[in-house]
Structure 1
Amino acid sequence: MGCCDTPGLMAIEDALATMLERITPIQATETLPLAQALGYVLAEDLHSPIFVPPFANSAMDGYAVRLSDLQSDTPLAIAGKAFAGQPFIGEWPVGSCVRIMTGAKIPTGCDAVIMQEQVQLTDAGVVFTSVHAKPQMNIRPKGDDIELGALVLAKGARLTPRDIPMIATLGIAQVRVFQKPKVAFFSTGDELKPLGTTLADGDIYDSNRYGIKPLLENFGCDAIDLGIIPDCPDQLKATFLRAQQLADVVITSGGVSVGEADYTKDILAELGEIGFWKLAIKPGKPFAFGQLEDAWFCGLPGNPVSAFLTLYVLVQPMLAKLAGHSEWQAPQTIPAVTRSAFKKSPGRTDYQRGIYGIENGQFVVESTGNQSSGAFRSMSLANCFVVLERDRGSVEIGETVQIELFNSTMYA
């Protein structure tokens, strides 16, 4: 008896554990210019080849001094100037100071930098008023940010807009990264029509691909859109065969339910194997996972919210492991007090769409309204999921629930 014939629904935790256990990260790597590496996963530890900063420098606009020259109230002559990129060069006589700007290299022998607001310029020189100078005051030491040889980013880190300029400060022009997973996806159904066409009676526009593609790209994948495939077994089979040659993972939207025209599950059984089908999740129960001869397979439900949700909750961590993104973490879950009621029946973990806020230091959440799996407006309005446990029933105003804040892939 196969998984699809087994009575009952698989728990989300078991499904995700099964998927992650079977997935092996991609090992192929490439070396990219730093400017092209955003979103890729590092294939090796990144150590700093230099000190950052590479020399001690001034944290202020002011005057470089030797503390011994401040023992008396005698004005100090200005021996010269130091700017960023233009260090002070030459003799620095005793009893003088150096005019210095933020970021400029500290002159040899300097003990401190006095900010310009604490001095007076006179004809006799610079007078330091009410100054309690301490050794190394307003001086950024060499290596203050990053030491030579320090581990900056570990293998498995996905490069973000915060990482790229930091790597650039190290003078690193190229990085070795894992190749991005290639994911081919398509929608199935005779009722689906492309944007820009006129709908006939019973038709709907295919919106799922417009949610799948940006999420896949935000997950760090190369997304290959194969369009809409009608409910024709021969065309579906041909598309599966083509897709597995193009990609590491094949994702379908629709065709994994129990309708007479849902052929995807049968074709998958012919071309590969079904790991599981039907989960204790709402929305998204008819989610399928398996393997083709040359690619992994994830079958998303056809309803828009169900497809988007299962891609985010179940497929995202799988793709993170495939990409070698070992530092990926599940979205944060936080307790919140309800400001509206949530309808639910026990039996499935329910991901309802909510809007959270903070009142008097406490997270609160309310429903986005219509929670139907076909009502995508509820997803568009949301900033979190309200995760209601499998055995839990309806929730009244004032109860505490767990909310899962959207991670950055929902906003990029």
Structure 2
Amino acid sequence: MSTGCGCERGNLATLDEVLGHLRKEALSLPGVDAIRLPLCQARGMVLVESVSSTIQVPPADNSAMDGYALRAADAATGAVLEVSQRIPAGVAPQPLTPGTCARIFTGAEIPPGADAVVMQEDTEILPDNRVRLPPVNAGENVRRAGQDIAVGTQLFAPGRRLQAADIGLLASIGVASVLVARRLRVAVLSSGDELVQPGEPLAAGQLYNSNQYTIVSTLEEMGFDVHDAGTLPDDLVATRLRLTELATTADVIVSSGGVSVGEEDHLKAAVEAEGRLVLWKLGIKPGKPLAFGYVNETPFIGLPGNPVAVWVTLLVAALPWLRWRQGESYVPPVPNPVPCAFTRKAGKRREYLRVQRQQVQDGVQLVAYPNQSSGVLSSVCWSHGLAWQEPGQSVAEGDALPFISYADWLA
């Protein structure tokens, strides 16, 4: 089966090629079931319906501050006016008596006949309770009806992943519930006899399973329904059995380790035996052994085994596919060019570097972690994001490299 990415020829596909193919694969699958949720439970969910406003916001002209509402013409050169009414927020005003002003509070509706508000700090209350007002222009300190949202305005289209501000905006137009895609069920597993759970003693040759915690934590943070599926032994039969079990309950299986070319790397062979492998090997460093395929008809994403390679491929490839599969109209973040405070030799693959974006006198610069090995997970915690150099590109101090912060990757 030809994928168009070069993988079937044993070549290393570029990230752009892989992302294009992953998006095509995600969009070719049936949509995730839709559910209706109360607005208070919808943060992080992906809309499957368009949402338009049936009201205008604000619903009527209202005051932008505490002060006095009046007809601007009555104070063209300043004026002393009687206070004819008091209008707190939430109370319907009476028409303004000509030649008077109204005490008004922030958010309160402007009374008919008034067209401006003077802030209270600019006024003087006289002994007889009249108010001295400075000149004011019509419309001053008035929030116009519909200035935020007009009736019929489309606020969100299908594919929007709802953020906290979105929830507030929907509440402002009276929406109580939304139709969203249910959370994608993601089974996460690791592969390797050497892996031990934190809290257990380490024997010779063993390692704590950091990858599982990195992947599960990241996917939970992104709002997926994550199932920790444990650790696979280095055994082909057991691996095939576990994959087929997970394929019956999960929307997608995400693994770490076991997809390289070692004799004990059985995941790739197990996927090929129980389904098909569509992509394998990505032309980046770290992160070359990236796999995508299907166990029966359940999608499978195989991440590398080295901790930093897991982090990088999770950000640049796995998360985009998961977000597209969830139904999100996801666009990968756009990098910013930032000058480097380091030098590097050219390499054969695109290389992702863990860097800090530091403020200096002349602006900002990128500082690279001293050890860029794919096994140094502390470099991820130290860094602010990823910069990268293209194949054959050497880097001199002062050269600009594309940079994306982790916050932007996960936004």
Match of 1:172 among 170, 175, 179: 175
Indicate conservation of the 8 Å contact 2:34/2:182, yes or no. Answer: yes
Structure 1 range deviating more: 133-142 or 34-43: 133-142
**Distance in 2 (alpha carbons) for counterparts of 1:306 and 1:258:** 16
**Distance in 2 (alpha carbons) for counterparts of 1:368 and 1:360:** 21
Deviations 1:58-102 (A, max 9, x none): 11111111234336766311112000112334x643332111111
Quote the residue 1:376 is aligned against.
Answer: 377
Cα gap change, 1:333/1:244 in structure 2, threshold over 3 Å: closer, same or farther? same
The DSSP-based 3-state class of the residue aligned with 2:16 is helix
**Distance in 1 (alpha carbons) for counterparts of 2:76 and 2:275:** 84
The answer to whether structure 1 residue 99 and structure 2 residue 100 are counterparts is: no
Q: How does 1:170-319 map to 2 (within 5 A)?
A: 170-319=173-322
The DSSP-based 3-state class of the residue aligned with 2:101 is strand
The answer to whether structure 1 residue 47 and structure 2 residue 56 are counterparts is: no
Quote the residue 1:386 is aligned against.
Answer: 387
Deviations 1:364-388 (A, max 9, x none): 1011221111110111111121211
Query: Which contiguous aligned blocks of 4+ residues in structure 1 show a shift greater than 6 angstroms?
Result: 1-5
Which runs of 5 or more residues in structure 2 are unaligned?
none
Which runs of 5 or more residues in structure 1 are unaligned?
none
Match of 1:61 among 66, 75, 78: 66
Cα gap change, 1:362/1:70 in structure 2, threshold over 3 Å: closer, same or farther? closer
The aligned length equals 406
How big is the shift at 1:229? 1.5
Indicate conservation of the 8 Å contact 2:388/2:402, yes or no. Answer: yes
Quote the residue 2:34 is aligned against.
Answer: 29
Indicate conservation of the 8 Å contact 1:284/1:310, yes or no. Answer: yes
RMSD over aligned Cα, in angstroms? Answer: 2.1
**Distance in 2 (alpha carbons) for counterparts of 1:15 and 1:75:** 73
Q: Which amino acid aligns with 1:368?
A: Y
- Give TM-score, length-normalised by structure 2: 0.93
Quote the residue 2:332 is aligned against.
Answer: 330
Match of 1:86 among 84, 91, 95: 91
**Distance in 2 (alpha carbons) for counterparts of 1:178 and 1:361:** 47
Match of 1:341 among 343, 354, 365: 343
How big is the shift at 1:234? 2.3
Cα gap change, 1:74/1:352 in structure 2, threshold over 3 Å: closer, same or farther? closer
**Distance in 2 (alpha carbons) for counterparts of 1:73 and 1:337:** 57
Quote the residue 2:17 is aligned against.
Answer: 14
Indicate conservation of the 8 Å contact 2:278/2:292, yes or no. Answer: yes
Cα gap change, 1:72/1:381 in structure 2, threshold over 3 Å: closer, same or farther? closer
Quote the residue 1:117 is aligned against.
Answer: 121
Cα gap change, 1:7/1:112 in structure 2, threshold over 3 Å: closer, same or farther? closer
Indicate conservation of the 8 Å contact 2:79/2:135, yes or no. Answer: no
Indicate conservation of the 8 Å contact 2:32/2:184, yes or no. Answer: no
Q: Which amino acid aligns with 2:132?
A: F
Match of 1:128 among 128, 132, 136: 132
**Distance in 2 (alpha carbons) for counterparts of 1:5 and 1:166:** 48
**Distance in 2 (alpha carbons) for counterparts of 1:335 and 1:69:** 56
Indicate conservation of the 8 Å contact 2:338/2:403, yes or no. Answer: yes
**Distance in 2 (alpha carbons) for counterparts of 1:57 and 1:149:** 21
Structure 1 range deviating more: 352-361 or 301-310: 352-361
Indicate conservation of the 8 Å contact 1:185/1:225, yes or no. Answer: yes
Cα gap change, 1:70/1:5 in structure 2, threshold over 3 Å: closer, same or farther? closer
Cα gap change, 1:68/1:14 in structure 2, threshold over 3 Å: closer, same or farther? closer
**Distance in 2 (alpha carbons) for counterparts of 1:172 and 1:361:** 48
How big is the shift at 1:55? 1.4
**Distance in 1 (alpha carbons) for counterparts of 2:115 and 2:8:** 78
Cα gap change, 1:345/1:239 in structure 2, threshold over 3 Å: closer, same or farther? farther
Indicate conservation of the 8 Å contact 2:357/2:365, yes or no. Answer: yes
Indicate conservation of the 8 Å contact 2:332/2:409, yes or no. Answer: no
How big is the shift at 1:140? 0.8
Cα gap change, 1:73/1:5 in structure 2, threshold over 3 Å: closer, same or farther? closer
How big is the shift at 1:353? 0.5
**Distance in 2 (alpha carbons) for counterparts of 1:73 and 1:389:** 68
Quote the residue 1:367 is aligned against.
Answer: 368
The answer to whether structure 1 residue 406 and structure 2 residue 411 are counterparts is: no
**Distance in 1 (alpha carbons) for counterparts of 2:342 and 2:79:** 72
Cα gap change, 1:255/1:73 in structure 2, threshold over 3 Å: closer, same or farther? closer
**Distance in 1 (alpha carbons) for counterparts of 2:226 and 2:116:** 55
Structure 1 range deviating more: 167-176 or 285-294: 285-294
**Distance in 1 (alpha carbons) for counterparts of 2:73 and 2:336:** 57
- Give TM-score, length-normalised by structure 1: 0.93
How big is the shift at 1:170? 1.0
